Homo-oligomer: A and B are copies of this chain.
């Protein structure tokens, strides 16, 4: 694959940044890649495992001369990081991010960037419950979506180049506007995460009743929830606080539906339950047909020996 950028700077060196780094290396997509993270510890780890060609001790140093800067920090600090790097950006450079929320990040970052720098927000729809510099792998974005959310009037060539990078990293790229992105993600990711966190918290409260049995006997449903609820607390705090309106709207609808199902259980209305559960089956089929998941029974976990 051809090189897309001469110099890429990664700000933040966690799951997404490290996966992007390994994907860029795999595809030969970037000349030199510099990196910066807040803590000495993460920078030391990055140096130890060869994450980035050069790890810098300041964000300013990392972005110097870069033609692409990728903000890979929690969405709550995107504005502060943008303010820090703004004076050091090369003219004509592209700044992008990988944050899970878009409208708020645009409002935070946009005002800091100088004239002549292209700002193209993005969001790769790929992740795991792990975080930090050691958690990344080159294949994370393979066959997943990456949404570009360009603000009005953005240079078309700059967008095409960023698209080429993400495609080179294995992703399928589409464009979307920020408000729409934030609503779709509230449904498909943000609300489900809050719900999983809540259910795991309830189970944790019940420990005194059920002792360690909640863990010992954790069945399929709950086990999946615990994986989701093991995701990084800082990242998710920031997601909920910055995508507040859409998340609360979806949670409001969720509560309404849940109450209707609880009422059906209480009154013994089996037909209502059966009809509801039959309807939700169809959406699963859609996801498998869309190639976003596998239909293998239990992902072979039932068959796993420990």
Within the complex, the shortest CB–CB distance from A134 to chain B, in Å, comes to 11
Q: Which chain B residues lie closer than 8 Å to A216 at the CB level?
A: 145, 290, 292
- CA of A217 to CA of B129 in the docked complex: distance in angstroms? 18
Instruction: With A266-B248, A283-B226, A304-B143 as known contacts, state yes or no: A128 contacts B297, CB within 8 Å.
Output: yes
Interface set, chain A 137-162, CB cutoff 8 A to B: 137, 139-145, 147
Interface set, chain A 215-239, CB cutoff 8 A to B: 215-234, 236-238
Q: Which chain B residues lie closer than 8 Å to A187 at the CB level?
A: 202-203, 206, 210, 214, 222
Are B302 and A299 in contact, with the CB atoms below 8 A? no
- CA of A166 to CA of B100 in the docked complex: distance in angstroms? 46
Q: Which chain B residues lie closer than 8 Å to A200 at the CB level?
A: 280, 283-284
Are A284 and B226 in contact, with the CB atoms below 8 A? yes
Sample of 20 A–B contacts (CB below 8 Å)? A76-B270, A127-B302, A140-B303, A183-B209, A184-B210, A184-B217, A187-B210, A188-B217, A188-B222, A189-B220, A194-B265, A200-B283, A224-B228, A230-B281, A234-B274, A237-B277, A241-B270, A244-B266, A248-B265, A255-B258
| Partner-B contacts on A (CB < 8 A) | 76, 125-130, 135, 137, 139-145, 147, 180, 183-185, 187-206, 209-210, 212-234, 236-238, 240-241, 244, 247-248, 250-251, 253-255, 257-258, 261-262, 265-266, 268, 270, 273-274, 276-287, 290-294, 297-299, 301-306
